[in-house]
Structure 1
């Protein structure tokens, strides 16, 4: 995995409505890349350059019963050293990230952030953002 470091910098969740309406509730997750810049990590063998990716992971409920976001930063190390310059230049010029790197980063962030969103939803008595498995009794 090319992600070497991960830090949460801010967590916010706000309940807008104190009653959860009956019926279908849609939960939308929106991962966003806020900034990409050169970063470094210190290892026992010296400093290692990588890419710092600042992100914001938003969660919205429809109907609007709650909203929230988690901000953080990851240190990403591309598989090839030349790829680092390509990623930084593309961000600097167009504020874009290539689809393969974006998918890799968002999948990592989702894996790290999902348990926290589950805990926040449980504590605030909100619907979960992913369906939980359910046991059903069937008559034979």
Structure 2
């Protein structure tokens, strides 16, 4: 009898998790559709997306005087600074200066760019140089081409 009860509880938990995950994806898709119209909502979407993909203690910074950081998160014990860029064109290399400054101020060893578009070739070169430099930045995260079809 106990095995039947445990089996039913396990099955119920599995169904609940599947339904919860599906609902969470719908919420993210809805937030993205609003965020593609409003940069601050896009930051909120980015925050939720990062939580969903393994980052912890994810928080957005103030809208101004944030020293170049839009999101501060933790991953595997490291602090990660993200710049969130909602753009109609490619993201350019000026972002790297802001990322490095913000990482230094927030004590981060990892930086990232989160965008709905592509990165320019000059930005890709700057990020590669940053990874190879051997400085205090140990890892660079790039999340690009975020669109509603992904969900």
Greater relative contact order (Cα < 8 A, sep 6+): 1
The bucket for the TM-score relative to the shorter chain is under 0.3
TM-score by length of 1: 0.24
TM-score by length of 2: 0.23
Which structure: greater helix fraction? 2
Which structure: greater strand fraction? 1
